[in-house]
Amino acid sequence: MAVNLQHCDTHTMTSVADLTIDGLRKLGIKNLFCIPGIQNDDFFNALVDARDIRPIVCRHEQGASLMAMGASQATGQPAAFCVVPGPGMLNASAGMNSAYWAGGRVLGLIGAIPHGVKGQKTGVLHDLPDPTQVLANLTKHAAYVSDGESAPGTISAALAALMENEPRPVSIEVPVDVWSAPADGILTAPQRKAPSIDPAQIEAAAAALAKAERPLIVVGGGAHDASAEVTALAEMLQAPVTTRRQGHGVVDSRHELYVPLTVGREFWRDADVVLAVGTRLEFPLHWGVDEDLTIVMLNIDESELTRRNLGAIGIHADAAAGAIALMDAVGPQNRFRSGVVELVAERRAHFNSTVAAELEPQRLQLEAIRDVLPDDGVIVEDVTQIGFAAHLMFEFRHPRSFLTSGTAGALGAGVAHAIGAQAALPSQNVLGIVGDGGFLFSATELATAAQHNIAVTIIVYDNASYGNVKRIQELRFGKDRTIASDLQNPDFVKFGESFGIHSQRADTPDELRPALSAAFAHDGPSLIVAKMGDVPNPWPYLRMNEVRGPLKAD
């Protein structure tokens, strides 16, 4: 990203705070999720005059970072939050860690102690020995603005990093005594940047795909902006498409080539070539690999191409550009590979009569949600029973229709995560699905939704326990060996009403349909409380054993 440092008659010296706000503006940021505090007073004083950027004041720094992640995931665009250093930054780390693993162009603006005492362990308010090092472990780029003179270059580099390659968070720390420092520079808008495609990589991958007799495509969160291209490539190759979690909606679940995870495992067993698009293959690799399986990895994160020593044919590229290049190189010769659609239909029918039937309580809830949620609606999952089942059975109809904290597994993220997504998508319905265990982690952010009239809908499934933990304890150690997994809950309907939000109970799928309709029609946030007893265990279908040779050690 270029920075213009030339002086001109019309150029006015600005402060670091002004420059930072201009950086937000250049990113297209409309909402800043934040909690003000003394180290950031000069920044917020400057923000008063930035009428085009709305501060959404949160009730916990974790909520602010999770809202920014939700906004970025929902749109594919950058989002930002601002908190104080020390405990504020540490509270926000859960959202940054989640955005790192689940994909979010999240910019964290972090205040800092006075520059002159940085790293001296003096114990001034909100001191940490090395906050920049902590942030370096949570982001792909951790910037520190030491003075006004270097601020334009430092901020410029951070914004450029945010928009380059894989969507991961970036932080900018600004000391309390540097926000007001003069900063003579003009930022230009950073552009989305992807790697140039290596023709040799495409040629090698295309050769493998062209001769494949039983190809399979696995998609992940890195493929959401390549929905049309991946779908077209699957149709050309007549390759089934599956995903574990983050790739839901890349290919419409109703497409004749889409298969749920358990069926994907069957196709993995028989595949001769697997094309992994925007995915780390975290779960499918548990199904095993052998010398008869060729893996082609298309990923914007170059480190993923060789991380697991799979001998994969790697393509370092944006998913959409890589898919187009592969289609051009492979050509249409495999378009009419016969019998695949019929086999997909047969295996999906078997899935519906077995797995879906065995998970019927969850399936009926999900069917009720699907009946009411509009086609362009978005589901945000917390770490919860219904969310796990949704990975297998929900009908996702478009990209970015399922938001998750991914491998971070951030229990309790759901309420804030969904509020951020809804703030970024005010004309669409966003539904957060949370369990009672995770709900109270960030339920106070309902106050944020109420204050800013963010019309999110939250369903809390109440089984008076950390249900997943309790079931694992029972299965591993016995029903008389559960510990610290039962919960005493408040009256969640009254809890929601105390925030002034539309709250109701819906304990059955038949009750859920009208409750959801009323919530989506309501001009403001809504809470639905659903009692849920014990439900069947989905994990045998989510983490399945190998069907090929064992995975080689890294």
Q: Are residues 136 and 259 in the same domain?
A: no
| DSSP 3-state of 5 | coil
Predicted pLDDT at 3: 38
Integer Cα distance of 76 and 82 in angstroms: 20
Domain of 235?
199-351
Q: Are residues 296 and 324 in the same domain?
A: yes
Q: Are residues 430 and 489 in the same domain?
A: yes
Last residue of a domain, one of 351, 374, 409: 351
Q: How many domains does the chain have?
A: 3
Is 401:248 a contact under the CB 8 Å cutoff? yes
Q: What is the DSSP string of 153-203?
A: HHHHHHHHHHHBSS---EEEEEETTTTTSEE--EE-----B-PPP-HHHHH
Q: Are residues 527 and 386 in the same domain?
A: yes
Last residue of a domain, one of 302, 329, 351: 351
Is 109:178 a contact under the CB 8 Å cutoff? no
Integer Cα distance of 272 and 267 in angstroms: 10
Closest CA to 307 of 317, 321, 297, 319: 297
Q: Are residues 499 and 374 in the same domain?
A: yes
Predicted pLDDT at 337: 72
Does residue 210 belong to any structural domain of this protein? yes
Q: List the CATH number of the domain containing 300.
A: 3.40.50.1220
Closest CA to 277 of 306, 301, 294: 301
Q: Are residues 151 and 257 in the same domain?
A: no
Q: List the CATH number of the domain containing 495.
A: 3.40.50.970
Residues pairing with 461 in the sheet: 435, 530
Exposure letters 39-73 (e unless 16+ CB within 10 A, then b): bbbbbbebbeebeeeebbebbbbbbbbbbbbbbbb
Integer Cα distance of 140 and 82 in angstroms: 18
Predicted pLDDT at 2: 39
Predicted pLDDT at 336: 55
Predicted pLDDT at 21: 97
Give the pLDDT of the chain (554 residues) as one tens digit per residue.
Answer: 333 333 333 345 699 999 999 999 999 999 999 999 999 999 999 999 999 999 999 999 999 999 999 999 999 999 999 999 999 999 999 999 999 999 999 999 999 999 988 988 899 989 999 999 999 999 999 999 999 999 999 999 999 999 999 999 999 999 999 999 999 888 989 999 899 999 999 999 999 999 999 999 999 999 999 999 999 999 999 999 999 999 999 999 999 999 999 999 999 999 999 999 999 998 888 899 999 999 999 999 999 999 888 899 999 999 999 999 999 999 876 555 789 999 999 999 999 999 999 999 999 999 999 999 999 999 999 999 999 999 999 999 999 999 999 999 999 999 999 999 999 999 999 999 999 999 999 999 999 999 999 999 999 999 989 988 999 999 999 999 999 999 999 999 999 999 999 999 999 999 999 999 999 999 999 999 999 988 999 999 998 989 997 644 43
Does residue 552 belong to any structural domain of this protein? no
Integer Cα distance of 478 and 465 in angstroms: 16
Last residue of a domain, one of 160, 187, 214: 187
Q: Which H or E element spans position 380?
A: strand 378-381
Q: Are residues 109 and 27 in the same domain?
A: yes
Predicted pLDDT at 333: 63
Q: Are residues 138 and 53 in the same domain?
A: yes
Q: Are residues 140 and 270 in the same domain?
A: no
Neighbours of 490 (CB within 10 A): 11
Integer Cα distance of 455 and 482 in angstroms: 38
Predicted pLDDT at 185: 86
Does residue 534 belong to any structural domain of this protein? yes
Q: Can you list the alpha helix ranges (DSSP code H) found in 443-531?
A: 446-451, 467-477, 492-498, 509-521
Does residue 297 belong to any structural domain of this protein? yes
Q: Are residues 498 and 469 in the same domain?
A: yes
Predicted pLDDT at 146: 97
Does residue 307 belong to any structural domain of this protein? yes
Q: Are residues 174 and 120 in the same domain?
A: yes
Does residue 62 belong to any structural domain of this protein? yes
Kind of pairing between the strands at 106-112 and 14-15: unpaired
Does residue 412 belong to any structural domain of this protein? yes
Q: Are residues 124 and 147 in the same domain?
A: yes
Integer Cα distance of 199 and 329 in angstroms: 10
Does residue 553 belong to any structural domain of this protein? no
